[in-house]
């Protein structure tokens, strides 16, 4: 259940995030019946316990952090704290064999400057010409905080954020709250990336902060007159520019996949007729002809098809396919169909090497979705999500649900095993990131797929991985059950 003992900066932070984004899913508080699952032939292996040497190293790290924070002159007095400018520095060329995950989103880069800084291979920003430019982001923070983050970065093992819960009530917590209060620095991709980093402890990350550049895909600068024209020749000129922008974007991602040997791409996008029409209207001030919207949909669909066929060459000179995990269609008010004319990208009949996922609500007390999945659409909440069943590969509960008994102003609650917010790789709070969206389903699915891949030396196909994750159907609840264990850490309730 959601707790309400948040500090004031965190409350303000949540409020700002909630105001800046719109909920993506509908609501229906009718409980679905429990559905029995059939036995799975592949129970997850027991990952075992950390070694004694690892336990000792973790104890030493916690002692070092405690010593640093106890000696800090900044306890409860943040105004007079010495400040430093922390700047991300790209690590030496990676020579380890590990999973590499590419995140394309906005508001990511503070992750590279906090407790996860040793997990980041490179950081980029997307220019208006849709070229990835490497950047080395900086952020002001208390010097004592920077020292703590460096201690974590220099530690030889991954340490779960749950190990730091002893510091939640430490007087130095004010330093972390001060960092959290820098609201403009945080965005949608921050929560996605911290979840991925927390539940893929041996993975490394390439972060591409999109900023507002993705709007240039559909509405390139100076193209409004041609987009809104009734002349097909003028429309073609605008579409040629848009296609060129998509080509540049694809080349950018192709280069990153090859250069950094990307295993998974976390993508929180997908166009639709209504979304394209609205963006043109907002940027250009008028409504484009439906033929223009449909032509852009086709360009976007072809782009996703190409993105779903990317690969890199491994150390043995063998091709390795990159798996694209994408937030599925939303805003449908009717049953969708394969190759749906209003959702050409999300409902594309050529799925290739990608998986489309939707976030669904679930009861917070009863496990309405059986452990190994179900085909029963009545297990999906809200019921309107069933509209998407022909355009979705996995329906995933994030542990958020409606509770009418909550105090005014709180619509949703979170069960113990839910998608919580992880701040700075050091602090966890018992709240959902502040808005309900299917965008938070892809990192859950990537983490689960990566877990099953790590159980074998054989490279598994996407279909083989999905068969292990959801053998009984596409409606699953990986957060609730033990089969969502990542390496030796396990999924935990904070």
Q: What is the pLDDT of residues 79-113, one digit of tens each?
A: 678 889 999 988 876 656 789 999 999 888 889 99
pLDDT of residue 202: 84
Nearest-5° Cα angle at 194, 72 to 369: 130
Cα 220 versus chain centre, distance: 26
Beta bridge pairs of residue 391: none
According to the model, what pLDDT value does residue 443 have?
94
Hey, what are 164's tokens? 């730091």
User: Global pTM?
Assistant: 0.87
Partners of 104 in the β-ladder: 208, 267
Percent of the chain with pLDDT over 70: 81
pLDDT at residue 436 in the model? 65
Model confidence band, residue 300 (pLDDT cutoffs 50, 70, 90): very high
From 186, 196, 184, 19, select the one nearest 108 (Cα to Cα).
186
CA–CA separation, 369 and 475 (whole Å): 7
Extract the tokens encoding 174. 């004010």
- The closest of 350, 353, 108, 128 to 248, measured between CA atoms, is 128
* CB burial string 277-288: b at 16+ within 10 A, e below: bebbeebbeeeb
At 372, phi and psi to the nearest 5? -105, 25
pLDDT tens figures, 437-473: 788 999 999 999 998 898 888 999 999 999 999 999 9
3-state SS record for the chain: CCCCCCCHHHHHHHHHHHHHCCCCCCCCCCCCCCCCCCCCCCCCCCCCCCCHHHHHHHHHHHHHHHHHHHCCCCCCCCCCCCEEEEECCCCCCCCCCCCEEEEEECCCHHHHHCCCHHHEEEEEEECCCCCEEECCCEEEEEHHHHHHHHHHHHCCCCCCHHHHHHHCCCCCHHHHHHHHCCHHHCCHHHHHHHHHHHHCCCCEEEEEECCCCCHHHHCCCCCHHHHHCCCHHHHHHHHHHHHHHHHHHHHHHHHHHHHHCCCEEEECCCCCHHHHHHHHHHHHCCCCCHHHHHHHHHHHHHHHHHHCCCEEECCCCCEEECEEEEECCCCCCCCCCCCCCCCCCCCCCCCCCEEEEEEEECCCCCCCCCCCCECCHHHCECHHHHHHHHHCCEEEECCEEECCCCCCCCCEEECCCCCCEEECCCEEECCCCCCCCHHHHHHHHHHHHHHHHCCCCCCCCHHHHHHHHCCCCCEECCCCCCCCCCCCCCCCCC
For residue 393, report the phi and psi dihedrals to the nearest 5 degrees: -95, -35
Mean pLDDT (the chain) is 81
CA distance 119 to 375: 37
pLDDT in tens, 1-18: 333 233 333 433 343 343
Which residues does 413 contact at the CB level (< 8 Å), separation at least 6?
Answer: 1, 2, 364, 400, 401, 402, 403, 406
- Alpha-carbon distance of 359 to 26, in angstroms, equals 11
Stretch 300-305: mean pLDDT, rounded? 95
Whether residue 21 contacts residue 437, with contact meaning beta carbons closer than 8 Å, is answered with yes
What pLDDT, on the 0 to 100 scale, is given for residue 402? Answer: 76
What's the whole-number mean pLDDT along residues 351-378? 83
């Amino acid at each position: 259940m959601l707790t309400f003992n948040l500090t004031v900066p965190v409350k303000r932070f949540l409020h700002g995030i909630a105001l800046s984004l719109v909920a993506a899913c509908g609501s229906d508080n009718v409980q679905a019946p429990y559905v029995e699952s059939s036995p799975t032939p592949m129970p997850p292996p027991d990952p075992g316990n950390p070694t004694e040497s690892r336990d000792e190293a973790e104890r030493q790290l916690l002692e070092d952090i405690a010593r640093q924070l106890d000696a800090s002159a900044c306890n409860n007095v943040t105004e007079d704290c010495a400040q430093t400018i922390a700047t991300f520095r790209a690590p030496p060329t990676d020579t380890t064999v590990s999973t590499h995950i590419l995140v394309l989103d906005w508001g990511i880069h503070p992750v590279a400057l906090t407790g996860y800084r040793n997990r980041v291979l490179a950081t980029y920003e997307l220019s208006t010409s849709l070229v990835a430019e490497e950047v080395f982001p900086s952020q002001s923070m208390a010097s004592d905080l920077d020292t703590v983050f460096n201690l974590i970065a220099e530690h030889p093992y991954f340490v779960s954020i749950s190990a730091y819960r002893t510091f939640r009530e430490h007087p130095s917590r004010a330093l972390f709250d001060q960092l959290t209060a820098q609201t403009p620095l945080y965005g949608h991709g921050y929560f996605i990336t911290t979840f991925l980093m927390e539940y893929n402890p041996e993975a490394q990350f390439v972060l591409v902060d999109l900023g507002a550049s993705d709007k240039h895909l559909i509405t390139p600068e100076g193209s409004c007159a041609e987009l809104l024209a009734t002349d097909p020749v003028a429309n073609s000129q605008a579409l040629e520019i848009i296609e060129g922008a998509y080509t540049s974007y694809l080349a950018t991602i192709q280069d990153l996949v090859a250069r950094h040997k990307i295993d998974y791409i976390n993508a929180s996008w997908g166009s639709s007729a209504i979304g394209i029409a609205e963006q043109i209207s907002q940027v250009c001030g008028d409504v484009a002809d439906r033929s223009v919207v449909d032509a852009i949909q086709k360009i976007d669909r072809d782009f996703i098809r190409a993105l779903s066929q990317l690969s890199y060459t491994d150390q043995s000179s063998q091709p390795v396919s990159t798996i694209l995990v994408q937030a599925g269609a939303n805003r449908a008010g009717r049953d969708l169909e394969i190759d749906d004319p209003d959702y050409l990208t999300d409902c594309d009949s050529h799925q290739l090497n990608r998986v489309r996922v939707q976030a669904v609500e679930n009861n917070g007390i009863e496990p309405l979705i059986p452990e190994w999945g179900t085909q029963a659409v009545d297990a999906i909440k809200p019921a309107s999500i069933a509209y998407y069943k022909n355009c979705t590969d996995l329906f995933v509960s994030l542990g958020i649900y409606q509770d009418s008994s909550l105090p005014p102003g709180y619509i949703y609650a979170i069960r113990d095993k839910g998608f919580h917010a992880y701040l700075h790789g050091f602090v966890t709070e018992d709240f959902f990131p502040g808005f309900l969206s299917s965008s938070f389903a892809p990192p859950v699915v990537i983490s689960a797929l990566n877990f099953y891949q790590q159980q074998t030396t054989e490279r598994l196909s996407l279909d083989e991985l999905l068969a292990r994750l959801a053998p009984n159907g596409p409606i699953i609840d990986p957060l609730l059950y033990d089969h969502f264990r990542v390496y030796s850490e396990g999924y935990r309730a904070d």
